[in-house]
Amino acid sequence: MMALSELKGLGKARLEALEKAGIRNLTDLLLTLPARYQDTTTITPLGEIVPGGEICVSGYPKAAPRLSRFKGMTSVTLRLCDETGSIPVVWFNQPWLQNQIKPEDPLTLYGRIDRDKQGRIRMASPVKVQERGITPVYKALSGIPPKVMRDLMRQALSQLEDCCQETLPDILRLKYGLCERNFALRQAHFPETKENLMIALKRITFENMLLYQAAAASLRGERTKGAVIPADERACRAYWDTLPFPPTGAQERVLSEIAKDLSAPHAMGRLVQGDVGCGKTALAFGAMYLAARAGYQSALMAPTEILARQHLESAQKILAPLGIRCGLLIGGMKAKERREALQCISSGEWQAVIGTHALISEGVEYENLGLVITDEQHRFGVRQRRMLSRKAEGEEEKSPNALVLSATPIPRSLALVLYGDLDLSIVDELPPGRTPVKTRIVPDEKREGMYDFIRSEARQGRQTYIVCPLVEESEAIDARSAQETYAELSMGPLSDLRLGLTYGDQEGAEKDETIRKFSNGELDVLISTTVIEVGVNVPSATVMVIENADRFGLSQLHQLRGRVGRGARESWCFLMASPNERLKTLCETNDGFKIAKKDLELRGPGDFLGTRQHGDTLIPGMAMGADVQLLEESSSCLKWLRSPGYEEEWAQVKESARIAFARVMEDIAMN
């Protein structure tokens, strides 16, 4: 097989860039699929365009392009015309285009259709099309231009037969209508037709889903001996009887499932999934109670210091009265505090340790760790869970039991794929008396009335979140920014209230101080990005305003909405956007699982997980955009393979999975 370095156009710098991206040989290169495609096979008449997608248009400029400047940025604008209508076109920070485009010259463009700040349809920063077809667009790599990447792929495809062998048994491909692997790879890189591209992507995505599940099943099958924590129904009932509120039926069922796992000889690996407010924290403390009762330590890892502190406060109220000593370990501690905390953990004085990633940092030793709990699964991966688990492995090599909590509703079909190394429990019942958050779509013309309502709530000691999609103002993206909104409201409609501002890149101490003030009621309004999506519990917050709500997925909107409605008072969520089917779904139900199911149907798994935007996914190839049916078919295929009579085929798929995920498994094993 040809070496990667033998390809024309690859010097030392480009080879290093490929290496950095994990591309070490021709096979790696050929399995690096396009992030997306530019489809210029169809021209959309200008009179028929609608916002929200990428299209190809053709026409002529009505007049010479105009160059403008704004806060250090430039924009080139023109009006493109054809026989059906016209549309404004804008390019940002490409001033040279002013001299390259002439009036009345034919011009074919490919790009996204959106709206400007006045709500007018436009085409923003399109590319000029020289030759029409389906062009692959690869994830940008430093020093490797798109044209060079496409040329490298063409060269590599000449070696395809030597590099990429078939991974799936023939009987499986025929049963599920999948093309051969090499046909799929050729068409995925350079599609001859849209039909061929769809056939190729179906094969590749199905394979990736199946192999991921097979790899996860192997991990699950390799579970080590666990710390056996004797627990039965009487122990569970004893815990529930200590709480000031009765458990829901779902809580009782899930704690029983946890107790059964803890009593088993192999280490527990269970995901507890439930909507905001369903009582997952009470379940976590129940598991910690069962561990302490049997003489074991437990550790609960939260994604933020604020959430860790809130968990400690709750643990002091629920576990401390039961004689369970609780303590906190976070990154922001002073040296003396940290030394004392490490001593309490290593000596076993603290039976329940609560903290952040600091729990898996160097120097942390546990006396007898039997249970690890991670909160908010989408913030942690398999590696972090295993790093925490390894803190407990001693001479007997018994792993602690692992419990994972997630407040991000995910349809069962997707959860079974994503968390294949875990058993799944769903808390599908909310405690009685919880007041649902009222959700309304608010058009911009009713903004002033909404601000009046926020002021009215503040006079009654109630607080408001205002969430924006951007940190700072951008001419390129039509959306409100947190900084712009903070400045505007501080000097305008909410100038008489106490306002705070926080965002992801804000200095840590400043961010923590702002959120602390809001949590303590020292601020009336917190303006932020989605940084507050996880880790803030403020019962007196009754209003959630989400700017440009149509820019968020339904599941994320539901997560943000869950920041309010945590007290006894009536709470509201205002979606600042024009009405559409997605947002109406949010107004009609507070059931996170129904919302997630709708979100998955409307956007597909790639967008649902945010992988199309970020190019990073738990399941490689998911970003190509599978549909729900394909997701379910791959799960049923795994069951079919593991049934009697298909041992040879199952062995082939397991081996393909081992090869495909070798580096991932090595990475996990090393950490």
> Cα–Cα distances in Å, from 574 out to 521, 543, 549, 552, 556?
21, 8, 9, 14, 14
Crossing angle between the packed helical segments 662-670 and 382-390, to the nearest 10 degrees: 30
The pLDDT-based confidence of 392 (bands split at 50, 70, 90) is low
Higher pLDDT, 579 or 523: 523
Maximal CA-CA distance, the chain: 83
Q: Which residues contact 482 (CB under 8 A, 6 or more apart)?
A: 468, 470, 471, 472, 501, 502, 503, 527, 528, 529
Angstrom distance (rounded) from CA 27 to CA 87: 44
Q: How far apart are CA 37 and CA 193, in angstroms?
A: 12
CB 163 within 8 A of CB 656: no
- To 10 degrees, what angle do helices 554-561 and 592-608 make? 130
Pairing, β 66-70 against β 73-82: antiparallel
| Residue 277 near residue 427 (C-beta atoms within 8 A) | no
Tokens of 263: 């009593």
Q: Give the contacts of 410 (CB within 8 A, at least 6 positions apart).
A: 273, 418, 555, 596
Q: What is the pLDDT of residues 432-466, one digit of tens each?
A: 767 789 999 998 889 999 999 999 999 999 999 99
Coil vs helix vs strand at 117: coil
Which sign, positive or negative, has the C-alpha torsion 352, 353, 356, 359? negative
How crowded is residue 451: how many other Cβ atoms within 10 Å of its Cβ? 18
Q: How far apart are CA 378 and CA 578, in angstroms?
A: 30
- The neighbouring-strand residues paired with 107 are 59
How many percent of the chain have pLDDT more than 90?
50
Supply the DSSP string of 236-254, one letter for each residue.
HHHHHHHSSSPPPHHHHHH
Q: Is 408 helix (H, G, I), strand (E, B) or coil?
A: coil
Helix (H, G, I), strand (E, B) or coil at 195: helix
Q: What is the mean pLDDT of residues 278-296?
A: 94
Query: Distance between the two ends of the chain, CA-based, in angstroms?
Result: 32
Torsion, Cα of 235, 241, 244, 249 (10° steps): 80
Rounded to 5°, the CA angle 371-374-376 comes to 155
Q: What is the pLDDT of residue 360?
A: 80
* Model confidence at 159: pLDDT above 90: yes
Output the CA–CA distances (angstroms, integers) from residue 372 to 110, 218, 272, 313, 399, in the order listed. Answer: 50, 21, 13, 19, 10
**pLDDT score recorded for residue 278:** 84
Q: How does residue 562 score in pLDDT terms, banded at 50, 70 and 90?
A: confident
Q: What is the pLDDT of residues 534-545, one digit of tens each?
A: 556 788 999 999
325-354 burial: b if 16+ Cβ within 10 Å, else e? ebbbbbeebeeeebeebbebbeeeebbbbb
Name the DSSP letter for residue 122: E
Count the residues in the chain: 671
Q: Can you tell me the distance from the alpha carbon of 386 to that of 382, in angstroms, rounded to the nearest whole number? A: 6
User: Residue 487 burial by CB count (10 A; 0-12/13-18/19+): exposed, middle or buried?
Assistant: middle
What sign does the CA torsion over 289, 292, 294, 299 have? positive
Question: For strand 85-92 and strand 73-82, is the pairing parallel, antiparallel, or unpaired?
Answer: antiparallel
**Could you tell me which residues are beta bridge partners of residue 115?**
121
Closest among 393, 406, 422 to 669, alpha carbons compared = 393
CB distance 25 to 4 below 8 Å: yes
Q: β-strand 499-502 against 525-528: which pairing, if any?
A: parallel
Q: Are 631 and 605 in contact (CB under 8 A)?
A: yes
C-alpha torsion 446→452→454→457, nearest 10: -140
List, for residues 503-533, the tens digit of each pLDDT value.
Answer: 877 787 788 889 889 989 999 999 998 877 6
pLDDT in tens, 161-204: 988 999 999 999 999 999 999 999 999 999 999 999 999 999 99
Q: How far is CA 645 from the centre of its chain?
A: 38
Q: How far is CA 448 from CA 384, 453, 455, 492, in A?
A: 46, 9, 11, 11
> Do 642 and 650 form a contact (C-beta atoms < 8 A)?
yes
Position 411 scores a pLDDT of 66
Query: Phi and psi of 388, rounded to 5°?
Result: -70, -40
Residue 380 has pLDDT above 50, yes or no: no
CB 55 within 8 A of CB 126: no
The C-alpha atoms of residue 511 and residue 501 are separated, in whole angstroms, by 8
What pLDDT, on the 0 to 100 scale, is given for residue 507?
A: 80
Helix (H, G, I), strand (E, B) or coil at 10: coil
Sequence-ordered strand ranges (E) for 138-292: 269-274
Place of tokens 């030759």: 131
Q: Predicted confidence band at 231 (pLDDT cuts at 50, 70, 90)?
A: very high
Domains of the chain: 1-40+146-164 (no CATH), 42-128 (2.40.50.140), 233-263+278-406 (3.40.50.300), 438-589 (3.40.50.300)
State the chain's mean pLDDT as an integer. Answer: 85
Specify which residues 533 forms β-bridges with: none
Supply the pLDDT for residue 349: 95
Structure tokens at 365: 């030793």
Least confident of 203-217, 383-397, 520-534, 643-657: 383-397
Distance, CA of 366 to CA of 358 (rounded, Å): 13
Q: Taking a C-beta distance cutoff of 8 angstroms, is the pair 401, 267 a contact? A: yes
Query: What are the backbone dihedrals phi and psi of residue 227, each rounded to the nearest 5 degrees, phi first?
Result: -70, 115
- Under a CB-based contact definition with an 8 Å cutoff, are residues 500 and 523 in contact? yes
Identify the residue with better confidence: 379 or 433: 433
Q: Encode pLDDT of 592-613 as tens digits.
A: 878 877 776 666 554 544 433 3
- Whether the predicted model's global pTM rises above the 0.75 cut: no
